[in-house]
Amino acid sequence: MIEQHEVLQVLVDSCPSFSKDAQEHVAEYGNDLLYVAAGAFARHLLALQEEGSTSSLQGAAAVIEHLHIHGSPWVRAFATIGLLEGVQNTWSHSGSDPELFVQFLGPESARWWKGLNNFWSGAATHVKGEA
């Protein structure tokens, strides 16, 4: 099971071009404030998308899928709220279509991506008695 303290290294291992950003994050924050690192990762993925680096985007999506499947509960939530939502927000605020990233997602990540879309569009529902 992937734990919180392992996330940053897992991201770098899957996307070596993120190494410099990760090192800067560690220099400033240590291995803490991973949601800040998620924003940097989303900006990095946007740059890769703008460069047309499909293989790097595939690797990044694969690691997000891996975190969803093999992560601790905290890591699984981070994969959705930190990483996927980070891509959606960063890309849309820059004028890029975040839906371009969907083609690279595995099934679990795609399910959570759709859930985020449903939540933000107001289409999300819950079972009576659940929060």
C-alpha radius of gyration, the chain, whole number: 14
The answer to whether residue 126 scores a pLDDT higher than 80 is: no
Mean of all residue pLDDT scores within the chain: 89
Burial category of 27 from C-beta neighbours within 10 Å (exposed 0-12, middle 13-18, buried 19 and up): exposed
Chain segment 34-67, per-residue pLDDT in tens: 999 999 999 999 999 999 888 899 999 999 999 9
- Paired with 71 in beta bridges are 2
pLDDT confidence of residue 131: 46
- Picking from 4, 40, 48, the residue whose alpha carbon sits closest to that of residue 22 is 40
pLDDT digits (tens, 9 = 90+) for 63-83: 999 999 999 999 999 999 999
Determine the Cα–Cα distance for residues 92 and 87; give it in Å rounded to an integer.
8
Total-model pTM: 0.87
pLDDT of residue 127: 46
At residue 13, the pLDDT reads 93
